[in-house]
Chains A and B, each alone.
Chain A
Amino acid sequence: MDLKSARKDLGAGAVFVGFGLAFASTASTYEVGSGLRMGPGYFPLVLGGLLVLLGLAIAAKAFISPETGELGPVPWRAAVLLVAAILFFGFAIRGLGVVPTLFVSVLLAALAGPKMRPLPALVIATVLTAMSVGIFIYALQLPLPLLGPWVG
């Protein structure tokens, strides 16, 4: 078998087995109960087990008839920047308020664009922050402070 061509199936199998094990093992620490009285652990334990089986079946299929096709390029820089943009928003929104948080997040996101230089990214961040504040804070009246306690 060509391991390279089976990467997609083996990878998918591993992801599902991993999630299945994590859910099933955690669920078994809750009260499982019986069919008549399903405890909180019952449903996720059954499904977690099922997911492990399905993951194994997908991985096994990789040895019989693998799904071919290249994985293709992965935009690592963009992935890191986008995740950073989203996490920063969640982390800072309470402390910094809408304007600074959104500005930094959009700036990070904009930098994920192909061949993006800092200056156009700043322009994009400024315009989109102003637009979002206009839509969400002024038009839709979301009760979020423009500036949070961290910046006074």
Chain B
Amino acid sequence: MDFFSNLQLGFETALTPVNLLFCLIGVALGTAVGVLPGIGPTATMAMLLPITFGFDPVTSLIMLAGIYYGAQYGGSTTAILINLPGESSAAVTALDGHAMAKKGLAGKALAIAALGSFFAGTVGTLFVALFATPISRVALEFGPAEYFSLVVVGLVASIALASGSTLKALATIVLGLLLGTVGQDGTSGVPRFTFGQFELYEGLNFVSLAVGLFGVAEILRNLERGISRDVVVKKVEKLWLTREDFRRIRMPVLRGTGLGAALGVLPGAGHVLASFVSYSVEKRVSKHPEEFGKGAMAGVAGPESANNAAAQTAFIPLLTLGLPANSIMALLVGALIIQGITPGPGVITDEPELFWGLIVSFWIGNLFLVILNLPLIGLWVKMLKIPYRWLFPAIIAFATIGTYSIGLNNYFVYAIAFFGILGYVLIKLGCEPAPLLLGFILGPLLEEYLRRSLIISRGDATVFLTRPLSAALLAVAALALLVAVLPSVRRKREVVFEEEDG
């Protein structure tokens, strides 16, 4: 099948009324959680996963993916209007976006963000469509040894780009891998770490883990201080751009899109990195660098395009290699497995409807987002007024009932409390919980590939180094680890992420 008949198949799948509806629901929910304080896309997706298990796999993925990139849009809205980025990648947008809002140009800033994002999302989607097939063809040649090394690269690279201590991130990943071994061993059938509890035989559920780590732990963090937000901008007007504005944002949008599309493929916080890099590039090439921080249009257009292009291309490793680039993609891996689909290079050829339908839905979702975020902006501004004392009990209600409904297993619910506390303790001790989820989901795969490679090589562990592709991948992993601990890179990284925290 050639590219166009593939796209046609994608349109046929994505344009069915059910899929359109759930694409809309997904991006609307995504925008909502991007706007709302104290709840992120990871927790939302985890809570809604159980609901989607009854859906068709395509429909389920279309909606879940919509939540993810929808949140990128919603995050910029709060960044511009109240100087509080709802999503970490929107932190840069807050710098100039909020400055524009204070000058009374909120409408213009929102329009730049939405249109830049739409353009970037479209190009990012096209990137996925063009590059996914060739990459997956290479990956089809992989044996278990290559897969083992690939998973190692994915895990290590996700730390190299994360903030904070590399040692702590490594330890968090290993803890995640270990937690993934709980339950009956796939090969021998021996129950591991179950304390004799039959309910634990099927293992810990990744939904409990995600809801606990990203939902409950986050609530506790927010309750430390309490959330209060002031909406500076009461009414948003003048949403359209002049021809002069278009001329001024054209190049920043193009540059941001290119950067984002390239950096989004990287494991870890690719989209956060993309928006920061784009901002510094725009500042450097600008004829008026002094305007940056005081409401420069390029300072909104570049980073916004970059993070949305990256949000789309982050799907490339997932769809071609079955390798999640971040914790959100890891949730999608879990969703695929539950739907009976093995994530990996086979998805494109075995499930063309799923793959191409999902890609076309990205573009449709981006179109919905422009409509949702420009004419309907007033709705989201109102949503900002939902008090947190209503929001977090609702999160608890949805989390418990949703998780319980997966297997009617009350241990899944107890696990939420366990992981909520564990996540909170880890955050308090300076460890990001995201690598834990990544390790947890990839753990069983890693063990399986290790077992299979060693059987094929008759127990010879050097197989990972003697097979050239596997050796190359491990070299990349070692290099990434080295880069992460090198002092000069560390310092630069800290500068980048300090701004993010601020």
Contact = CB atoms under 8 A, between A and B. Distances in A.
Contact of B174 (A40, A51, A75, A93): A51
A111 to B, nearest CB: 9
Contacts of A79: 220, 421, 424
Interface residues of B, number: 66
Interface in B199-251: 216, 219-220, 223-226
Interface stretch (B95-103, B283-291, B295-303, B391-399): B391-399
B193 A67 contact: no
Given A51-B175, A105-B397, A43 B181 contact: yes
A8 B429 contact: yes
Interface string A21-57: 0010011001100111111110110011011001101
Given A40-B188, A51-B171, A83-B420, A132 B414 contact: no
Majority secondary structure, A binding face? helix
A147 interface: no
A41 B192 CA distance: 8
B410 A85 contact: no
Interface stretch (B253-261, B337-345, B367-375, B453-461): B453-461
Contacts, number: 198
Interface in B375-429: 388-390, 392-394, 396-402, 404-405, 408, 410-414, 416-417, 420-421, 424-426, 428-429
A30 B414 contact: no
A23 B193 contact: yes
B480 interface: no
A4 to B, nearest CB: 14
Contacts of B190: 30-31, 40
Interface residues of A, number: 72
A61 B192 contact: no
B493 interface: no
A99 to B, nearest CB: 11
Contacts of A120: 389
Nearest to A49: B174
A120 B387 CA distance: 13
B400 A86 contact: yes
B370 to A, nearest CB: 28
B281 interface: no
Interface in A63-118: 67, 69, 71-75, 78-79, 82-83, 85-87, 89-91, 93-94, 98, 102, 105-106, 109-110, 112-114, 116
Contacts of B130: none
Contact of A43 (B51, B411, B450, B461): B450
Looking at A85, A90, A105, A131, the one whose CB has the most chain B CB atoms below 10 A away is A90
A15 B392 CA distance: 28
B192 A27 contact: yes
Given A12-B171, A31-B190, A106 B181 contact: no
Interface string B82-123: 000000000000000000000000000000000000000000
Contacts of A40: 185, 187-188, 190, 192
Interface of A: 8-9, 11-12, 15-16, 19-20, 23, 26-27, 30-31, 34-41, 43-44, 47-48, 50-51, 54-55, 57-58, 61, 67, 69, 71-75, 78-79, 82-83, 85-87, 89-91, 93-94, 98, 102, 105-106, 109-110, 112-114, 116, 120, 124-125, 128-129, 131-132, 136, 140, 142, 144
List the 10 shortest-distance A-B pairs measured between CB atoms, nearest first.
A36-B459, A90-B413, A12-B429, A113-B389, A90-B410, A54-B171, A40-B185, A35-B459, A109-B396, A86-B417
Given A37-B459, A132-B398, 4 more contacts: A40-B187, A73-B225, A86-B216, A128-B394
9 contacts: A40-B185, A71-B428, A86-B400, A90-B417, A93-B410, A113-B392, A124-B389, A136-B402, A144-B408
